[in-house]
Structure 1
Amino acid sequence: MDSFDYDIIIVGSGLYGAVTAYRARQKGLKCLVLERRDDIGGNVRDKMIDGINVHLYGAHIFHTDNEHVWSFVQHFSDFNNYIHTVLAHIDGRYYHMPVNLMTFHEIFGAKRPHDISDIITAERRNEFYSCPKNLEQKAVSLIGRTVYELLVKGYTEKQWGCAATELPAEIIERLPVRTTFDSRYFSDRFQGIPVNGYHAMIRRMLDGVEFITGVDFCKERYYWLGRARRIIYTGMIDELMDYCFGSLDYRGLEFRTERVEVSDYQGMAVINETSSVVPYTRTIEHKHFNLMQERLPYTIITREYPSVWHPGCDAYYPVNNLRNNRLYAKYRDAASCIFPNIIFGGRLGEYRYYDMDDVILAALSLEL
């Protein structure tokens, strides 16, 4: 009979890995978590810098309509009642996002909900595609050329690193337009940010679970495969398979964080930059996530610069077009034969975009 040191080894200490580790411990399973970075938390990790809690890998606002998920996370942290709002900045002017009646007022002078449908109808008379062939054609057909050019085109092309006419239409299912002055970015019933931060929340999930940081699983895969009955893998499947079929496409991000010697830099947590001539996509001012933040004479901001991804870099967004989805399926089929005891999970492991609540729900649904 095979003898293993662990029932489960979990590769990655983000939300999927941490929730799975907590559940494994609750079931009495012996579990080990391996993390490539120097600390736990994956991309939701945050850190106190000069008295301000900084989201190290982009803004993370927890939001969900799922009562089960909301109840689950309450076990590990109290949440503040931060409600996320965003402005888009272009050419010296600001517009409310997501697109709502205020946005249409700022652009067109709209005053009533029915004005929106009249404006979009007029825009569609000038340009409409019944069978859009790319993202630009689909977006223009949904919201009109004017709004698209101001608020969508530049941001999207920076985010994905190519012209919107080169992106498949299926990347966007819809572009929601609110006919009210509701400027909340998310409409979910439950929203907020952990009072003591995501890092502290992950640590509570991993309470009593053995974990090791600074471990590159892929470089030592066969050693770790021999130490557990099952592996939960939340990394990139193509890296695990040594890119034998070629690499999947991802988008990278560069985060440039700085301390600014003013008490308030931009008046809110997130402002998107939708101009194509501004190289970064958004500016985050972290103190605005904490509603009780002590008024300090300085602040900390982070600008996000989308980047071309190369093997060896951190991957942030899967590029879910037809070519990549087919390649991922090919990798999954091959991996199931070569590594039958590996379960793939999370945004990278499943090669799909997940919100945080979706990640947690997936981890809670995993059979252990």
Structure 2
Amino acid sequence: MQILLVGAGLSGAVIGRRLAEAGHHCRIIDTRGHIGGNCFTERDPETGVMMHVYGPHIFHTDDEEVWAYVNGFAEFMPFQNRVKSTTRGAVYSLPINLLTINQFFGKAMRPDEARDFVAGEADLTIEDPQNFEEQALRFVGRDLYEAFFKGYTEKQWGCAPTELPASILKRLPVRFNYDDNYFFHRFQGMPRDGYTPMIAAILEHPNITVELNTPYTPDMAGAAGHVFWSGPLDGFFDYDLGRLGYRTLDFERFTCQGDYQGCAVMNYGDREVPWTRITEHKHFSPWESHEGSICYREYSRACGPDDIPYYPIRLVEEKALLDDYITRAEATTGVTFVGRLGTYRYLDMDVTIREALETAAAFLDCVGTGHAAPAFFTSPR
């Protein structure tokens, strides 16, 4: 079968590879001039630093099969994300842990003492948190909430924390030990040579052709037996019901000699600081050594028509519009919507790959049994 995959990011690459291995001919197109989507990495020609061009991507997973999959296409080096936060004129360790708590409150508590102390700070009058702010106050109290969550959240989402659902803080990141590894997954690392060569290796198959700087046009579908769409769900329909809401990111790049901040990621919790964080890219490759350094100040704002969508908002208004687009998609034949944009969900890289592998397997089952492939193998709801 001739398969058209729109988007040369992780979803398109992984699905295309599996279908190509099964004997199908896969044409993968992308509007950008490079593969990899937002995972795209490249070396800065001036400093030699490996750049995460669209912001940091750190691979972490408990999925052993996915870990084995990516290691089949790249050499992964150990990497643990150890985030810091500048707030109220001091630097603290994130996620909130025993060191953060002791430093913030000027104490020297043991784990059980700190647990009891934070419980005493919590607002227990909030029995059923209805929004992000209530969820945070219920578990850590006002001081920690305002120092580490409130200002950062307002900048990241562009609205008051009282307007955000409590589910954003499903697992409140507070530890009562000195573990400052930001993630808790078994497998964590970075591809030695960046994500771009890894995705290029996935795409390297005789049944795959890749065309960059190539926007999708509806007539392309006529030449394909099936289309996999990893672009924006509403974009497939030319946004004719309205645009789903996203946050986008602006990066202010600056360079320096030596070490600018001593870590890969520094959050800024104070509301009056306009950026959310600064990333220093050479620290994402600690096995390398570079005299020069490249940093990004990261700003979050509402996504416009010409911007790159990063984070789906998924508040009440967006969910209603999403339902309308899902209904529209389910009535469309010959196309399956995949990935972060195609299903309007925030997905980590490991989940993206897992869903792509499962989508490819399910599609091959449909082909084998003569059934039509659905619009969604993973529901966006």
Same fold (TM over 0.5): yes
Q: TM-score, normalised by structure 2?
A: 0.90
Aligned partner of residue 359 in structure 1, secondary structure: helix
For 1:304 and 1:128, the matched residues in 2 are separated by: 36
Aligned-residue offset at 1:274: 1.0
Cα pair 1:171 1:321 within 8 Å, conserved: no
Write the deviation string for residues 23-44 of structure 1: whole angstroms up to 9, x where unpaired. Answer: 1111111001111111111000
- Could you tell me whether the CA contact under 8 Å between 1:36 and 1:216 is conserved in 2? yes
2:351 pairs with one of 346, 353, 358: 358
% identical aligned pairs: 40
Contact 1:80–1:291 under 8 Å retained in 2: no
| Pairing of 1:60-209 with structure 2 (within 5 A) | 60-108=57-105, 109-124=107-122, 128-208=125-205, 209=208
The yes-or-no answer on 1:342 pairing with 2:341 is: no
Deviations 1:124-153 (A, max 9, x none): 25x641122321111111221111100011
2:379 maps to none
Q: Does the C-alpha gap of structure 1 residues 46 and 128 become closer, same or farther in structure 2, counting only changes over 3 Å?
A: farther
Confirm or deny: 8 A CA contact 2:119 2:139 kept in the other structure. Answer: no
> Are 1:214 and 2:222 counterparts?
no
1:310-321 equivalences under 5 Å are 310-321=304-315
Q: Out of 216, 219, 222, which is 1:223 matched to?
A: 219
**Alpha-carbon distance in 1 for matches of 2:110, 2:52:** 38
3-state SS in 2 of match to 1:325: helix
Given that 2:43 and 2:51 are in contact with CA atoms closer than 8 Å, whether structure 1 keeps it comes out as yes
Paired with 2:108 and 2:314, the residues of 1 have a C-alpha distance of 36
- Residue 342 of structure 1: how far off its partner (Å): 0.9
- 1:227 is aligned with what amino acid? A
Q: 1:353 to 1:110 in 2, by over 3 A?
A: farther
Contact 1:96–1:102 at 8 Å: present in 2 too? yes
What is the rounded CA distance, in whole Å, between the counterparts of 1:253 and 1:63 in structure 2?
A: 22
User: Which amino acid letter does the alignment assign opposite residue 323 of structure 1?
Assistant: E
Q: CA separation in 2, counterparts of 1:196 and 1:104?
A: 37
* 1:332 lines up with 2:326 in the alignment: yes
- Within 2, Cα distance between the matches of 1:82 and 1:166? 35
CA contact (8 A) 1:336 1:342 kept: no
**1:211-290 aligned within 5 A:** 211-217=210-216, 220=217, 222-260=218-256, 262-290=257-285
Give the conservation status (yes or no) of the 8 Å contact 1:171–1:320. no
Instruction: Give the Å deviation of 1:110.
Output: 4.3
Question: Gaps spanning 5+ residues in structure 1: where?
Answer: 1-5
Q: What is the SS of the residue equivalent to 1:80?
A: strand
- In structure 2, what residue type is equivalent to 1:215? T
Structure 1: distance between partners of 2:198 and 2:357: 16
Give 1:21 shift: 1.2
Distance 1:280 1:128 in 2: 33
Superposition deviation, residue 290 in structure 1? 1.2
Aligned to 1:3: none
CA distance in 2, matches of 1:176, 1:301: 26
- Distance, in Å, in 1 between the alignment partners of 2:137 and 2:74 is 42
Q: Which whole-Å CA distance do the structure 2 matches of 1:233 and 1:55 have between them? A: 24
- CA distance in 2 between counterparts of 1:169 and 1:73 reads 33
1:181-204 Cα distance to aligned partner (Å, 9 max, x none): 000001111111000100111100
Using the TM superposition, give the Cα deviation of residue 166 of structure 1 relative to its aligned residue in structure 2, in angstroms: 2.0
SS in 2 for 1:115: helix
Q: Is the 8 A contact 2:119 2:140 kept in 1?
A: no
Tell me how large the CA RMSD over aligned residues is.
1.4
Note the C-alpha offset of 1:320.
Answer: 2.1
Deviation larger for 325-334 or 227-236: 325-334
- 1:142–1:174 Cα contact (<8 Å) kept: no
Q: Could you tell me which amino acid in structure 1 is paired with residue 25 of structure 2?
A: K
**C-alpha displacement at 1:361, in angstroms?**
0.3
Given that residues 194 and 201 in structure 1 are in contact (C-alpha distance below 8 angstroms), is that contact kept between their aligned partners in structure 2?
yes
Shift of 1:254: 0.7
Alignment partner of 1:305 out of 289, 299, 303: 299
User: Are 1:59 and 2:59 an aligned pair?
Assistant: no
